[in-house]
Every structure is written in C-alpha cells, then in structure tokens.
Structure 1
C-alpha cells in the first residue's frame, strides 16, 4: 500500500464540473486508460440499472469496490459511454500530492476532497448537495483504501450510507444507491515480468531467487518471511499458526496497544474504523504545538504503526494458497512491490481488460439516520457489491 501524508489538509478542494470541461479532457482520459493502466477492453453489464435511475432524475450514489488504481478510469469510461459526467469524492492526500495542473484536471472531472481522518463537514455537505440537487451521479468508494484484492470486498465504511440518509431527509427527489463491481484480467500473459519482479523481491531479503519453485509457493514463502520479520520486530520472536491467524494476531497486538495508549474503546467497530480513530488522535498530537518534540515523535511512530496494521489487514493470507489465477498472484506481487520495494504505485505487467457490473438500485428510505439504520444500509451495500463480484465470470 502507498503510505499517505497523514495530516490535516491545508485546504478543501471543491469540484468544478461542467459538461464542456468533461468533454475537453476526454483525450487525456483515453491516454491514461490505455498508456498508463494498460486497459484495452472494458465490458459493461447491468448499465440499464444506472440508466433507469438517471432517466427518472433520482439522486444517485454509485458504490464500487476499490481494488485497483485503474478503478476511476473504468468509471470514467462508463461516463463517456453515457455522455454524462460523474462526481467523485477523493481523499485529500490525492490533491495534496498533485501538481497544480493535475489538481485542475481532478476538479474539472468532478472530484472534491475529503479528509478521511476527521469529520469533514464541507465534503459531507458537498456530497449531500450533489445527491439532492445535481444532475450527475456521485461516486464514492466505500472501502476507503486500495487493497489490491479483486475478488472480495473489505468492510465498507459507514460514511456513504450516512451521506445518503442525510440527503434523503432533505431532498425533493428519490435518492438511491447503485452498487457496482469491477474485476480485471490480463489479456497478455504477464508471467515473465512477475517472475523477474519476484527475483528482485527475494533479493531484497538477501535470498537467492527461488526459481526452482512455482510462483505460488514463492509468493507464500516470501509472505511468511516478511511476516516473521515483523513478528520479531513487535513480538520478539516469530509465532506459530496459520498465516491468516498470525497476520490477524499481529495486527490486533499492535492496534490494541495503540487503543490502550490513547484510551479508545470501540469493540463493535471494524478494524479500518478502529485504525481511523487512532490515526485521528495521532494526527492531532503531531499538529499540537503545545506538545514537546518527543511527543510529536511518539505520535509519528504511532502513525507508522497504524500503517503497518493497515498493511497487515490488506493481506488475506489464503489468497494464493489454492489454485490461484494469474491475476491473484499478480495482485499479491503488486502489494509486495508497494510495501517492500516502496513503489508509490505498483506497475502494470501486461495489457488487461475490465468488467464493470451495475446492480439493481437500492432506494434510500427516510428514517432517523441513526447508527442502526446506517449500519444496516452499509451491510446491504457491501453484500450487494460482493454478490456482483462473485457473479462476474472472467474468461
């Protein structure tokens, strides 16, 4: 995973979306999709579900899984087919790291920033306003992070449901979700590049490349070695048990220690929500001028530890253990490339195709917008997106 600059954003970036601006940048979208993401084919399924909501003038939130950096490009391709632009809620870190021209392009594409580490009222109000009043759909990725796991979703965050329920209370038109699943597969065989990168990864551990083993076993052994190093760093020795058990145990050990240190207790929360709560406090400490340099340093260490927890959470542990596809193995190597070789974005090994499927609209019902209603809607969304992914059969 790409380490983000965790801090309070210096500003908020609003969208500057018009049909004219969206049309103007179409050449750039195609170049990015083909030259950078190597996406040569995109197949759309269930587009009539989205079209039906648009024809009726509903406020629409599209909620895709987020396994790949190419996901926005796939959705922009759909927008081009419909000749209707989309709004996107995007992490503030994307804007903070972008050049001025990249920031301009993002805003012209309907992107607006959200501070994921705090209660970003401006982003919340902007999203609600889009659902209430704007003629174009809003895209929000409920997973919040890119985990490089294309077959399953990670726990959805409650933010999208809270936004939709709030908009429903105020809107004069129906509000609905359109769940969306995106899957990728290689058109060309990337094995030669994957094997070369696996050599580099093993050499990074001072190993001789294990070219006598099949790639699946090399990936699994490499994962065990990296986990063992982290166990020795945090626990003093490597642990026993299956790989998934060890990953979960180490993540819990680190996270529980930070929660105890910060006085945070929320046993019902998902791991990403617990990480977010701890990270919010750590960021506040790093930016508190009344604290000592030692306290600032300790908070920076806490942020590093929380990033380790997020990395551990992103590894399912069994993804390549039984009959993995070439895409499964490539995803794990993508993760290694970012986590071990510190690449900001994993490379694309060969040309690919994508399938994007839209599900039946989920109407948002008026209610009190309490936690139970928000959680129930989030769980339904997560289930529907996972079902879409399960039903996408690749060639």
Structure 2
C-alpha cells in the first residue's frame, strides 16, 4: 500500500556525503543487489557521452527515465559509474517505510523522500537546490510511478518541468550556467528463452486458482490464451470483492468499469468531485491525499486504520489496473518481454510480489540534452520542455521495444 498510516509524513533528506556512494560503487553492491533481487545480470549504456558532456560543462542535470520496473533507480547506478559521478533521486515516502535497512540504503544511494499525497515544499526545494548547485545530477521519473509496461510510455507529470524551470531561473540570476534535462530510455531484455519460464509461472498461478495446470509449454497461442484466462480470473475476483459480483464481456470495458466504481466509492466517502478533465491518476492522488489527511486529523480513539487502508487499497487497485494496456498482447506484436511483464503484473496482484527469476539485461540509452529556459511556459499552451522530453522518451521507448524477441 502506498499510503502510510503508521506515522505522519516527515521529510527524509538525502545523504550528502560521498563516502557511502563511493563504497557502494567500488564494491559493486548494486551489481549484487540487481543480480540477487531483480535478476538483472547485465547492462549496456548507450550515448553516455551526452551525459558526460553535460557534466563537464557544469550544467545542473536532471535525468528523466521511463519507469517500468522497481529496479530502475538502481540500474541508473551503472550509468553513474560509466561517467564517474553519483546521483540524487526523489523517491516516494512509502519506500522509506518498509524497514530500517532499506531506508538506510536508500539515503546512502542519494534518495530523498517526497510526499505524493500533498504539496511537499521541502522535497521541491531540495530538488531545485540540487539542480542549482550542480552538486550531482538529479533523477526524477516523469511518469510518477512504475507500471511494468516497458513498451508503453505513460503521460508525463508536469512537476519535472516545474522543478527544472525553477532551478534554471535561479541559475540565470547567478549567471551560473544552464539546467538541462536528459531523457533516459530503459529497456529490459530477456537473456534466456522466456517460453519455459512463462509456462512454469502460469502453472503456479493456475494451481493458486485451483485449476489443473495446462500440460507442457505448448505453442505461443496457447500461452497467450492461458494468460488471458488467468487475467479474467483475477479481474472477476476483484469485481466480486469490491462490487459483489463478477461481470461478463471483454476484459477492457470490464476493467474500466471496475476502475470507475473503485474511484467513485472512495470519492463519495471523502466528498470528492472528479472534474471531467481529471484522469485516473489525478483522481487517485486526490483520494490518497484525502485518506492521509482525514486519518491523521481524526482523534485516535475514533479512527479505524483498517477502514482507511481499505480506501487506500481501492485507489491503489484502480491505478494498478491501468497497467494492463489494451494493445500489449495484440497478435503480431507479442514479444517475450511483454509476456514476462504481464505475468509479473498478475503475480504482484495475487502474491504481492513478482517472481524476478528470469535473467534480464537492461539497455540504458541517454537522450540529447534539453536546455531548460528560465521563463515560464507560454500561457494556455503545452510546455515545450515537457513536449521535447515526451517526444524523445517516446522515440527511445518505441525503438528499444523492437529489440525484444517477437513471439507472435
């Protein structure tokens, strides 16, 4: 659950020293972590010289990668090693509330917290100051959250350009050089045949649903059919859990109806009214904020954490269901990585954690530097900086997606 109800938000600053980041790189601790925890065994950096040139020029640098796996912030350590630098990164507050070791490790690797359920001025000021000082490059994920759909770029949040412009304005006053954004395309590729792995994982999911697993790996068509059946079963279970009954028909409209019902249930509880222009992510953010604010404003004797957690779970589920794109398993476009990602999303839904057991390689591609002007974007028009960032990321993600093995 991404809403923390155990304690009120308290800003977690980054660790400013170089001793720990240097030790982590020297002893290859990120390599160990990625190999053991994420099954990411290899990497390839492309156009790292673009990043290096911005470092040498003394620019304030914002790295803006697509965000498809929990491993993404860690794999950027390989890019940092390539150009001999360390990084800072903004990370959601809930990540600092797992255990003390992870909070310790996150900070030592340069992470600092952001409260996504509210206006976190301290996190914004920290991010802006990092870019103004040019002390280290700053990592911000413009999609906001991970989605495990490596081939699809989600809409970008405008906070990235806001932070970059605010820093550029301060730098311009000091006549201290530019702020630039480097888009970074991340693509995970299977190092082994995914067919047998997919059969094994689907068989486990089928047993969990009390089904008899299909015999043998079978053809890709059979694999996709089984994947759709498991997806239907999961959706039906959630429909029963939150609406009382399972519906019929195609998966996409059923998914969309459930998302809307989940959002409406929570919005009614907190007297929230969704604007016609608001997308699901914005509605989810408002629900999470209302859950957190209402919980901590209530008296200890009258608030029931279980009720608030249930409301937060509804919002999380609505956002999670968005990570099943309609076109991802279209015949003629099915790749090994798309099969793996879809299975892992279902594993996260049912088991709470994906089985990161298929060896992967990550390609880290650095885009051209986007100079950030100090002035505000044109009123009533799309922000040109955000448009350039989106276009570069979309081009890289689309191109990189074609490097996966086509199955059908």
TM-score (norm 2): 0.87
Deviation of 1:209 (Å): 1.5
Contact 1:182–1:356, Cα closer than 8 Å, also in 2 = yes
Q: Determine the C-alpha separation between the residues in 2 that align with 1:6 and 1:147.
A: 20
**SS of corresponding position for 1:25:** helix
Corresponding residue for 1:159? 159
Corresponding residue for 2:361? 353
1:18 and 2:21 matched: no
Q: Determine the C-alpha separation between the residues in 1 that align with 2:125 and 2:378.
A: 18
Contact 1:132–1:167, Cα closer than 8 Å, also in 2 = yes
Cα distance, 1:61–1:315 mapped onto 2, change above 3 Å? same
Corresponding residue for 2:374? 366
Contact 1:220–1:321, Cα closer than 8 Å, also in 2 = no
Figure out how many residues of one structure are paired with residues of the other and give that number: 390
Corresponding residue for 2:83? 82
Q: Determine the C-alpha separation between the residues in 1 that align with 2:203 and 2:380.
A: 49
Deviation of 1:294 (Å): 6.6
Corresponding residue for 1:199? 203
Q: Determine the C-alpha separation between the residues in 2 that align with 1:234 and 1:10.
A: 29
Contact 1:176–1:362, Cα closer than 8 Å, also in 2 = yes
Q: Determine the C-alpha separation between the residues in 2 that align with 1:373 and 1:148.
A: 31
Corresponding residue for 2:2? 4
Q: Determine the C-alpha separation between the residues in 1 that align with 2:341 and 2:306.
A: 34
Deviation of 1:162 (Å): 1.6
Deviation of 1:74 (Å): 1.7
Deviation of 1:191 (Å): 3.3
Deviation of 1:183 (Å): 0.4
Q: Determine the C-alpha separation between the residues in 1 that align with 2:305 and 2:22.
A: 46
Deviations 1:57-97 (A, max 9, x none): 11111110111122122210011111111111111111111
Corresponding residue for 1:247? 255
Where do residues 25-40 of structure 1 align in structure 2 (5 Å cutoff)? 25-26=24-25, 27=27, 28-40=29-41
Q: Determine the C-alpha separation between the residues in 2 that align with 1:322 and 1:12.
A: 47
Cα distance, 1:10–1:276 mapped onto 2, change above 3 Å? closer
Q: Determine the C-alpha separation between the residues in 1 that align with 2:325 and 2:379.
A: 28
Deviations 1:308-341 (A, max 9, x none): 2012111113322424222111111111111112
Deviation of 1:40 (Å): 2.7
Corresponding residue for 2:181? 177
Two-structure CA RMSD over aligned residues (Å): 2.4
Corresponding residue for 2:127? 127
**SS of corresponding position for 2:182:** strand
Corresponding residue for 2:50? 49
Q: Determine the C-alpha separation between the residues in 1 that align with 2:24 and 2:379.
A: 40
Q: Determine the C-alpha separation between the residues in 2 that align with 1:5 and 1:299.
A: 9
Cα distance, 1:185–1:290 mapped onto 2, change above 3 Å? same
Contact 1:127–1:138, Cα closer than 8 Å, also in 2 = yes
Deviates more, 1:76-85 or 1:236-245: 236-245
Q: Determine the C-alpha separation between the residues in 1 that align with 2:85 and 2:20.
A: 12
Contact 1:184–1:354, Cα closer than 8 Å, also in 2 = yes
Deviation of 1:384 (Å): 2.1
Cα distance, 1:317–1:123 mapped onto 2, change above 3 Å? same
Q: Determine the C-alpha separation between the residues in 2 that align with 1:135 and 1:118.
A: 27
Deviation of 1:165 (Å): 1.7
Deviation of 1:240 (Å): 4.7
**SS of corresponding position for 2:145:** coil
Q: Determine the C-alpha separation between the residues in 2 that align with 1:283 and 1:174.
A: 38
Corresponding residue for 1:333? 343
Deviation of 1:236 (Å): 4.6
Corresponding residue for 1:60? 61
Cα distance, 1:66–1:371 mapped onto 2, change above 3 Å? farther
Deviations 1:232-258 (A, max 9, x none): 444454445532222122212322343
Where do residues 290-301 of structure 1 align in structure 2 (5 Å cutoff)? 290=299, 293=302, 298-301=307-310
**271, 290, 296: which one pairs with 1:287?**
296
Contact 2:143–2:157, Cα closer than 8 Å, also in 1 = yes
Deviation of 1:229 (Å): 2.7
Corresponding residue for 1:189? 193
Q: Determine the C-alpha separation between the residues in 2 that align with 1:230 and 1:106.
A: 33
Corresponding residue for 1:381? 389
**SS of corresponding position for 2:351:** coil
